Structure 1
Amino acid sequence: MILLLFSVFYNPFDSTKEISWLQFEKEMLSKSAVDKIVVINKETAEIYIKADKIGSGEFEEITNDKGPHYSMAIGAVESFEAKLEKAQENVEMAQKVEVLYEDRFEIGTLLSWILPFALILLFYLFIMRRMRGSAGGLNNPMMNFGKTKAKPTRIDEKTKVTFKDVAGLKEAKVEIMELVDFLKRPEEYTRLGARIPKGVLLTGPPGTGKTLLAKAVAGESGVPFYSMSGSEFVEMFVGVGASRVRDLFKQAKEKAPSIVFIDEIDAVGRSRDKAKSFQSNDERENTLNQLLSELDGFEANSGVIVLAATNRLDVLDKALLRAGRFDRHIYMELPTRIEREEIFNVHLKRIKTDDSVKVDLLASLTPGFSGADIANICNEAALLAARNKKEVVTNEDFTQARDRVVGGLERSSKIISPNEKLIVAHHEAGHAVTSWYLNHVDSLVKVSIIPRGKSLGAAWYLPKERNIITKSQFEDQMCSMLGGRAAEEIMFSEISSGALDDLEKVTKQAYNMVAFYGLDKVIGPLSYYDSSGQYQGMMGKPYSEEMGMQIDKEVHALVMKQYKRAKDILKEHSEELQKLGQLLLDKEVAEIEDLEEILGERKVKNLLKMND
């Protein structure tokens, strides 16, 4: 290709020299040295020198007798003819230079049209050859978008996570371990006519160990384990998601028995309801349809078990959840106190601690924490101890780590004016005094006015684990949350914006009591809670405007009643409120001993023990 282009645009054997019109007129035409002129394609003039002039004088360098000897760009033919006529106006007709016109085929012009198309064709053939030459395109990056990204876990290289590393989750582990046992010894189950479950759906709040349990299955099963996230199915190319689903199950069937784990399946398995049609995605729906077909379609999916995990069970398509596709639904709840002890024991194995660390106490101080939260607390405690150059992690480090995870980083450098500090101290004291004299509020542990995260102060409680909450418990909690705002009004006859978080929580809780739990006498036992999520994407509400006005009225009355109740409690115990506020101004932190010294022994302690 290079030699061809070189010969077209620069020919070393071509002796024709290009000249200008001025040079042609002065050196050749005026000296009657021109034999003839041939105009090629109305663009270039080839000049032939007379035979008797070649090899002598100014034309001594010419070695080619035949010619052409010179060439010249003429521009327009009419202009060239006019200039030539003017230059020869005093020359006799017989001596005038003969001008010939010739249309000549130029290979360079042809190449300028053919070459771009030829290069495109060569590039296309090169790419197609590479595709054919790389095992049908399986290893070619340009053809990989239709192939699954899931890679099987090698049986001889088991993952480090086993069922021993999964603390708590006793019921979930029993079902999952039965699944693994079925894969290892299928004859014990099939002799009675049982068939292998097709799918297991793990669902629950974030951080409860769904993915960890799947990793344990990979470590214990001893069969090929394919892991993939739901978002990896969907790409910008149409049809890629469905192609990846087909390829994933094709590979899994070839190595059956095998396990396929799809993490965050809600990314591809969202509901196709009409109410959510404006949010529809054709590519995602095609992928979901292919997934439904592979899970339980016309062809039997023998030997392949599908594990899936999600914390958005409410948005999944009903066709995906039916038996035959996911035979078992395992709900993984937040761990209980005993399960939290087990989780702490697992994470404390790699941490150097002293005798002050009590696992049962740590489990009691972390109600509502998931396994991921507990792992984070253990890591934060180790980081705090290392930052303070300690040899071991103490109970104080775990307490500070818990406060940091719950409330945020302590900001001791934040500058607060004395007036603001006075308001914050009495605000937190109001929470403490109000909750101290209410029967159904959790035990108070500590009160602090040190800024932490976005808050300027906090009251720390020891929550009890409840499965149901009564109306009186709801009301006491609301009264306790309104105690800070009530204390500001009583002490300073002025209210501030510091109660924003409390007011937000109280308002939401009041609406839940009236509109969801049916705890209001006027509204009655009605619930407008949307467990299916069908009203989530709609602009309207499931009740009329009149009912909405009634709900607002009852919510307002409920909040104002508890606010008045909080003010009455604080007025009755105004002396304790002032003492506790002054103590917080002096020490910034009031522990349980300080609270008992000012407020006395809490009278509801015996009641709390009886409830426990």
Structure 2
Amino acid sequence: MNNNNKGFNWFFPIAIVVMLLIFGSNFFGGETSKPLDEQQFYTLVEQGKVQDVMVYRDNFKADVFLTQAGKNELVKKDQPAESPLSLFNLKPQPDYTLTYGDLRYFQERFNKIKADNPKIETKMDFGVAENPLTSLLFTALFWIGIMVLFYYVLFRKMGSGGGPGGQIFSIGKSKAKLFDEKDKVQINFNDVAGLEGAKEEVQEVVDFLKNSEKYTKLGGKIPKGVLLVGPPGTGKTLLAKAVAGEAKVPFFSLSGSDFVEMFVGVGASRVRDLFAQAKAKSPAIIFIDEIDAIGRARGKGQFTGGNDERENTLNQLLTEMDGFGTDTNVILMAATNRADILDKALMRAGRFDRSIYVDLPELHERKEIFEVHLKKIKVDETVDREFLAKQTPGFSGADIANVCNEAALIAARNNHETVNKQDFLDAVDRIIGGLEKKNKVIKPSEKKRVAFHEAGHATISWLVEHAAPLLKVTIVPRGRSLGAAWYLPEERQLTTTEQMNDELCATLGGRAAEQVTFGNISTGALSDLERVTKQAQAMVTIYGLNDKVGNISYYDSSGQSEYSFGKPYSESTAKMIDEEISKIIEFQYQRAVQILSENRDKLNALATKLLEKEVIFREDLEEVFGKRAWDPELSETPMSDIDNPATAGNVLNDESTTV
């Protein structure tokens, strides 16, 4: 039994009715013009009510067309009302039809009337009567062409792909881009450097799609959904495409925002259509990038009644993920930067069974990423990939690709034959700090304050044990900053209380140097204060590193506190937290002032050297302070920590952001 019933098609019954209306005027409607004898015609001509008369020599008939005044007077009075069927006729219809006797006498009488009254403007034309069948044929062809055009443009081109009787518009269809045998994904795991742990986990997905019996014969089930989580630019989308390229199966790729539409029910319809297409082409992979656009936890942040359309889309996605089993060979992959706000029903086992965290690359992974991107660049032989990897701690894969591209642009700008080491150093500085502005005019007094501010950072970071050693300082304006400092941050997984305190002290070194040197402070430390406030707040409320508050953390990893107005602690606790944060910051500030006061001569020497050279390096710091006793063998790879200006008075606003 054939159950492929697409429903009744209304197009053809409507077309038949229209055709009857078109041709019914010829067969059923009769003539719309009234017969007229010769004497009545001559009378109308004498009265000036005839505009034109078309005489047909072959059938002794003539069509009479009245003037507008004649129509207003005669048609309403004795002419039958115009049939609506005549609206379909392409040729203008005469007001009267005339049957004449002798053409010669008819023409002479007409000419005599015009000669007697020169004001009469009636014209007489001669022609051949048309065959009714010919006129009918041309009319039919015209309207058939209109209907065919209407059918194919409206129902085919703008339709939903289901032909006539389907949806008029394709708004409910999936917008996923399909990569199949006609448009294959050309990316494989060789193009994805680093991410070894993530590649190992998704390799199971590739093996299952290639050889599913290997898993099913033992009773195992491959995860229905794989969620890639990690910071922006770490290669989540690239990894998903590599899975499709390795598995050589159809790959449906789209963004979570593609489901969002202003019309009700569109998102759910697109979800249904997406999974229907994937099942038809199984084995297949569906990849939804930025799934948090539709996967956000329901009932949060909806103070104006909620977004029912987004929730309906999420509900349909949950239903579809439950509606197919692993035997369909359809695997859903998704990526997001904000897994904490996803709905718990979406994250449960049976939907997204596996979450893979794609972290920022480590040193050896950055080296592999450089190897991939440098294949397309003409690089000097002296450039060391490991050196470049040490240059870029905290950089994502996208950042490294940008470094390589910027280095090539800088080399071309400087007319270099190849991209050398200095081009890469300039590229890192350009990306982190912005474009260098050597021609920016700064008053000498402000330049001196900037120099002591940066020297204060450098001094504290060199003299305290756990601060990142400063390797390069400049007071040349770069981007929006008036000064910049390059550090080599230690790549560590855990941070102790002493390390955080030393970092706070080094960050406050710029403002402390202004106080020690000039006896006053400026607005230049705005971003310094912002950073230390956030770090001290995290020490007290998140990491439990304060003795008075104790081993308590008010951090909410589920993200639910983001939508609540209240605090998870009492007013008295809030007051205590504020006091402890202030104590931590003020203690480290006084500590920085004390260190700089004890080393005032070295601070002055470093600031003087900075004013002279405008750019100083690690070797200059060693000349002033000597080597750091607790420092391990340092690489010469600098990392930037930029001092951005505040809007207040365009004075230095030092922002030390370790990348």
Does TM, normalized by the shorter one, top 0.5? yes
1:59 Cα deviation after fit: 12
Indicate conservation of the 8 Å contact 1:55/1:61, yes or no.
no
Matches within 5 A, 1:49-60: none
Aligned twin of 2:529? 503
Q: Which whole-Å deviations, capped at 9, do the CAs of 1:415-437 have from their partners, x for residues lacking one?
A: 11111101000000000011111
Helix, strand or coil at the partner of 2:563:
coil
Aligned twin of 1:106? 81
Q: Tell me: CA distance 1:238–1:602, structure 2 relative to 1, closer, same or farther (3 Å).
A: same
1:217 Cα deviation after fit: 1.2
Unpaired runs of 5+ residues, structure 1, are 5-9, 17-47, 78-100, 116-121
2:161 to 138, 151, 165: 138
Residue type matched to 2:245 in 1? G
1:125 Cα deviation after fit: 10
Q: Which whole-Å deviations, capped at 9, do the CAs of 1:566-596 have from their partners, x for residues lacking one?
A: 0000001101111111111111000111111
Aligned twin of 2:488? 462
1:226 to 252, 255, 263: 252
Range with bigger deviation, 558-567 or 122-131: 122-131
Unpaired runs of 5+ residues, structure 2, are 1-21, 26-31, 54-63, 91-144, 636-659
Helix, strand or coil at the partner of 2:482:
coil
Residue type matched to 1:138 in 2? G
Indicate conservation of the 8 Å contact 1:275/1:534, yes or no.
no
1:430 paired with 2:456, answer yes
Helix, strand or coil at the partner of 2:485:
strand
Helix, strand or coil at the partner of 1:280:
coil
Range with bigger deviation, 494-503 or 566-575: 494-503
Aligned twin of 2:348? 322
1:258 to 277, 284, 295: 284
Matches within 5 A, 1:31-50: none
Residue type matched to 2:552 in 1? L
1:68 Cα deviation after fit: 13
Aligned twin of 2:444? 418
Residue type matched to 1:351 in 2? I
Q: Which whole-Å deviations, capped at 9, do the CAs of 1:297-316 have from their partners, x for residues lacking one?
A: 37777210111111110111
Q: Which whole-Å deviations, capped at 9, do the CAs of 1:60-98 have from their partners, x for residues lacking one?
A: 9999xxx999996999x9xxxxxxxxxxxxxxxxxxxxx
Q: Which whole-Å deviations, capped at 9, do the CAs of 1:373-419 have from their partners, x for residues lacking one?
A: 11111111111111100011111111111111111221222111111
Indicate conservation of the 8 Å contact 2:50/2:65, yes or no.
no
1:189 paired with 2:215, answer yes
Q: Tell me: CA distance 1:181–1:279, structure 2 relative to 1, closer, same or farther (3 Å).
A: farther
Q: Tell me: CA distance 1:564–1:473, structure 2 relative to 1, closer, same or farther (3 Å).
A: same
Residue type matched to 1:558 in 2? I
For residues 135 and 387 of structure 1, what CA distance do their matches in structure 2 show? 49
Indicate conservation of the 8 Å contact 1:198/1:325, yes or no.
yes
Indicate conservation of the 8 Å contact 1:276/1:537, yes or no.
no
Q: Tell me: CA distance 1:358–1:489, structure 2 relative to 1, closer, same or farther (3 Å).
A: same
For residues 570 and 506 of structure 1, what CA distance do their matches in structure 2 show? 19
Matches within 5 A, 1:455-494: 455-494=481-520
Helix, strand or coil at the partner of 2:375:
helix
Aligned twin of 1:363? 389
Q: Tell me: CA distance 1:574–1:188, structure 2 relative to 1, closer, same or farther (3 Å).
A: same
- Scaled by the length of structure 2, what TM-score is found? 0.74
For residues 514 and 297 of structure 1, what CA distance do their matches in structure 2 show? 47
For residues 42 and 411 of structure 2, what CA distance do their matches in structure 1 show? 104
Residue type matched to 1:287 in 2? T
Q: CA RMSD in A?
A: 3.9
For residues 199 and 453 of structure 1, what CA distance do their matches in structure 2 show? 44
Aligned twin of 1:573? 599
Range with bigger deviation, 417-426 or 344-353: 344-353
1:354 to 376, 380, 401: 380
Range with bigger deviation, 526-535 or 294-303: 294-303
- Scaled by the length of structure 1, what TM-score is found? 0.80
Q: Tell me: CA distance 1:220–1:520, structure 2 relative to 1, closer, same or farther (3 Å).
A: same
For residues 86 and 280 of structure 2, what CA distance do their matches in structure 1 show? 53
1:374 paired with 2:400, answer yes
Q: Which whole-Å deviations, capped at 9, do the CAs of 1:477-526 have from their partners, x for residues lacking one?
A: 01001000011111111211111111110111111111111111111111
Indicate conservation of the 8 Å contact 2:159/2:168, yes or no.
no
For residues 62 and 196 of structure 1, what CA distance do their matches in structure 2 show? 85
1:335 Cα deviation after fit: 0.8
Range with bigger deviation, 423-432 or 353-362: 353-362
Residue type matched to 1:272 in 2? R
Q: Tell me: CA distance 1:607–1:278, structure 2 relative to 1, closer, same or farther (3 Å).
A: farther
Matches within 5 A, 1:18-37: none
Aligned pairs, how many? 543
For residues 602 and 595 of structure 1, what CA distance do their matches in structure 2 show? 10
Residue type matched to 1:185 in 2? N
For residues 516 and 459 of structure 2, what CA distance do their matches in structure 1 show? 13
For residues 45 and 371 of structure 2, what CA distance do their matches in structure 1 show? 107
Matches within 5 A, 1:33-182: 106-107=81-82, 127=150, 137-138=160-161, 143-155=169-181, 157-182=183-208
Helix, strand or coil at the partner of 1:146:
coil
For residues 178 and 196 of structure 1, what CA distance do their matches in structure 2 show? 8
Helix, strand or coil at the partner of 1:144:
coil
1:449 paired with 2:475, answer yes
Q: Tell me: CA distance 1:461–1:68, structure 2 relative to 1, closer, same or farther (3 Å).
A: closer
Range with bigger deviation, 430-439 or 527-536: 527-536
Helix, strand or coil at the partner of 1:268:
helix
For residues 49 and 399 of structure 2, what CA distance do their matches in structure 1 show? 97
1:129 Cα deviation after fit: 7.0
1:258 Cα deviation after fit: 1.0
For residues 246 and 330 of structure 2, what CA distance do their matches in structure 1 show? 16
Aligned twin of 2:269? 243
Aligned twin of 1:536? 562
Q: Tell me: CA distance 1:14–1:148, structure 2 relative to 1, closer, same or farther (3 Å).
A: farther
For residues 493 and 50 of structure 2, what CA distance do their matches in structure 1 show? 113
Q: Which whole-Å deviations, capped at 9, do the CAs of 1:143-172 have from their partners, x for residues lacking one?
A: 221111223312365333110111111111
1:393 to 399, 403, 419: 419
For residues 370 and 68 of structure 2, what CA distance do their matches in structure 1 show? 94
Residue type matched to 1:392 in 2? T
Helix, strand or coil at the partner of 1:498:
helix
Helix, strand or coil at the partner of 1:518:
coil
Aligned twin of 1:513? 539
Helix, strand or coil at the partner of 1:205:
coil
1:356 Cα deviation after fit: 3.1
Indicate conservation of the 8 Å contact 1:444/1:462, yes or no.
yes
1:599 paired with 2:625, answer yes
Q: Which whole-Å deviations, capped at 9, do the CAs of 1:232-275 have from their partners, x for residues lacking one?
A: 11212211111111111111111111111111111111110356
For residues 580 and 607 of structure 2, what CA distance do their matches in structure 1 show? 34
Q: Tell me: CA distance 1:418–1:72, structure 2 relative to 1, closer, same or farther (3 Å).
A: same
Q: Tell me: CA distance 1:477–1:135, structure 2 relative to 1, closer, same or farther (3 Å).
A: closer
For residues 602 and 590 of structure 2, what CA distance do their matches in structure 1 show? 19
Range with bigger deviation, 345-354 or 332-341: 345-354
Q: Percent identity?
A: 54
Helix, strand or coil at the partner of 2:177:
coil
Aligned twin of 2:107? none
For residues 37 and 442 of structure 2, what CA distance do their matches in structure 1 show? 93
Aligned twin of 1:408? 434
Range with bigger deviation, 594-603 or 204-213: 594-603
Q: Larger C-alpha radius of gyration, 1 or 2?
A: 1
Helix, strand or coil at the partner of 2:486:
strand
